[in-house]
A = this chain, B = another copy of it.
């Protein structure tokens, strides 16, 4: 049946009472409210995006109903059949429930009931999942996390058929399936349930949502505030090395809202996990909002949950892909289902922000509930506005005082710099203080590696973290930041990293021509102060915006420093006098260096080292102010990788030995373009004739940039007083310069 015809038929069917209505009761709906259902049914056929989504869901669920129900005995890791089947099942349960609520066709209720009873029959005697890798094994899945996923969706399906189901059936399901299921992921798994972690958010939502349907106050309280007794030792860790419990840690839904979210709405694990956690946070919040409006969860902590949706969308590149900091998998984007949920809920319960509608338009589907209906109606009524992403600075830490994440953007995402000066980011954090990544539209110019894992691809370690995640992806050398003595920050120790965070010095994106962020890190290498200032500059003397990077290290003793840049593409030209080794050897033995092959090594030019490359039709030049004795290494990821788990991406590493107080000044300069269709190269050479360090001491750092045509610029930054109103003066090349505030960009001619 064509969608239009189908919808028309449904309208007639509902209006003429051809489909029997649900048994009425006074229960509030968990997600879909009674009022919502009435409104939606009355609007069928009139709201294109809603109708389209409904039709897609119906087609999908109808096909699955045809196939029959399969609830196999659990056996596999992620990516394996039993895992995939149970995962598909919980989505289907929820979808069939929604279809029953909107279309009132009993075949969907029957399907939900029948599947539940198959699970009920199996669950009673089900042992722990046979795969033993997890710190908290589930029963249907290898980890309680996935069991919690199941229950979050199953609770919605149970709610959908609750009134329709005979009381005796409800009792059977609750006694044999839902209650023991909720207990297993909470009481039986305190190490999973009582953490502050995205895992526990899923656990809380699962227990809380089934509790709301069952009207089981004890489960609801457990979900909101955690287990009173968990028997966990302070400092205990999970199988990925994350803490299970730290001093003073709360538990349950509110603790997980309090702690990982900063007041700005940034989630400490990073956007990949924020996306994952948002679904249970928001769907449970929506359910609580319906059932327990007195808790006012959506306004909790100044409405952090809805703020977080905005932050999440901003933490994406021009294609909507989330920045893969920490253990983030590349390619995850705001097209993910969880973000459909987030956008719809944020629109409905927030200020009806019309920018969210343009994201929903791109997503091309909505939730089949009150919120999704509102979004579809808003789009239909032409209210959508472009979601323009600008420069932003987000604090990290529950009180917003544990560093943060800064974004400098030029143009309509033509150039985006992500600068990371966060806290550790819980167990998914990487040891990469003051690191950055750079994007040109949706393309990576300087990458963050992301994680070493193929999520849900069973051939790669069962879809789990691969050994190289620890030995490579988490290590400092794998990131665009400074490494001292070939050691990772905090010696790569989670216990130490978790105690610290970097500090913002200043952030100023008020002048679109010169946007600057500066932060310092005092603890990554004890006794060494690291300070990085990054400026995104759009100067008329340059074709495109460029990035000026001033990385200052100040130590009590002499050390060796390595500063890598993970570019992409093909090398065009450099002024490095390098040698090519006869055979490729790893750069080192540990801390990630064992995974890098040395492809070339040479002496840096004593003034400026220049390195140009071409990637996806764009030219780039890295200009580094180098010193006598500096060494440049060209490296490639992939050494000591027996299972070929790593990507063979390139890096250029600047190395400096015996340095105490030192500055790494560089410019990353995108320029020109190349089109193979016309075979024409435009502006393929750097516009920088010279980058010089004019001064670098405790008070000031100053560099000069001279263009090929002879335009001269100075960039100065104060190293002590970064007060916005502070007045500074500095003599450079015989002339005195005055300015106010922490930095200035001087146009000399």
* Contact-residue size bin, chain A (C-beta under 8 Å from the other chain): 35 or more
Q: Cα distance A331–B600 when bound, in Å?
A: 29
Q: Is A9 an interface residue, CB under 8 A from the partner?
A: no
Name the CB-closest residue of B to A333: B677
Residue contact A571 to B681, C-beta cutoff 8 Å:
no
Q: Which of B640, B642, B680, B684 contacts A459 (CB 8 A)?
A: B684
> Chain B contacts of A573 at CB under 8 A?
459
Residue contact B457 to A572, C-beta cutoff 8 Å:
yes
Residue contact A458 to B684, C-beta cutoff 8 Å:
yes
> Chain B contacts of A678 at CB under 8 A?
336-337
CB distance from A259 to the nearest CB of B (A): 26
Identify whether the interface residues of A are mostly helix, strand, loop, or mixed.
Answer: loop
Residue contact B681 to A332, C-beta cutoff 8 Å:
no
Q: Cα distance A640–B455 when bound, in Å?
A: 36
- Could you mark each residue 458-477 of chain A with 1 if its beta carbon is under 8 Å from any beta carbon of chain B, else 0? 11100100000000000000
> Chain B contacts of A237 at CB under 8 A?
none
Residue contact A332 to B458, C-beta cutoff 8 Å:
no
Q: Is A606 an interface residue, CB under 8 A from the partner?
A: no
* Interface-facing stretch out of A38-46, A157-165, A578-586: A578-586
Q: Is A503 an interface residue, CB under 8 A from the partner?
A: no
> Chain B contacts of A679 at CB under 8 A?
329, 332, 455-456
Q: Is A330 an interface residue, CB under 8 A from the partner?
A: yes
CB distance from A379 to the nearest CB of B (A): 21
Q: Which of B329, B599, B641, B674 contacts A676 (CB 8 A)?
A: B329
Within 25-67 of A, Cβ neighbours of B (below 8 Å) are at none
Within 635-666 of A, Cβ neighbours of B (below 8 Å) are at 636, 638, 640-644, 647-648, 650
CB distance from A579 to the nearest CB of B (A): 9
Q: Cα distance A135–B69 when bound, in Å?
A: 74
Residue contact B676 to A330, C-beta cutoff 8 Å:
yes
Q: Which of B330, B570, B612, B644 contacts A571 (CB 8 A)?
A: B644
CB distance from A331 to the nearest CB of B (A): 3
Q: Is A614 an interface residue, CB under 8 A from the partner?
A: yes
Q: Is A525 an interface residue, CB under 8 A from the partner?
A: no
Residue contact A456 to B681, C-beta cutoff 8 Å:
yes
Q: Is A597 an interface residue, CB under 8 A from the partner?
A: yes
Residue contact A647 to B583, C-beta cutoff 8 Å:
no
Q: Is A3 an interface residue, CB under 8 A from the partner?
A: no
Q: Is A335 an interface residue, CB under 8 A from the partner?
A: yes
CB distance from A726 to the nearest CB of B (A): 44
Residue contact A583 to B580, C-beta cutoff 8 Å:
no
Interface centre among A329, A332, A572 (most CB of B within 10 A): A572
Interface centre among A573, A582, A642, A679 (most CB of B within 10 A): A679
Residue contact A332 to B459, C-beta cutoff 8 Å:
no
Q: Is A354 an interface residue, CB under 8 A from the partner?
A: no
Q: Cα distance A612–B332 when bound, in Å?
A: 23
Residue contact B585 to A681, C-beta cutoff 8 Å:
no
Residue contact A677 to B332, C-beta cutoff 8 Å:
yes
Residue contact B459 to A612, C-beta cutoff 8 Å:
yes
Q: Is A180 an interface residue, CB under 8 A from the partner?
A: no
Q: Is A442 an interface residue, CB under 8 A from the partner?
A: no
Task: Jot down 6 A-B pairs with beta carbons below 8 A, ordered by A.
Answer: A329-B676, A329-B679, A330-B676, A458-B684, A571-B644, A580-B641
Give me 17 other A-B pairs in contact (C-beta within 8 A), A331-B676, A584-B597 excluded. Answer: A329-B676, A329-B679, A330-B676, A332-B677, A333-B677, A454-B572, A454-B614, A455-B679, A457-B572, A458-B684, A459-B572, A459-B573, A459-B685, A571-B643, A580-B640, A582-B585, A583-B584
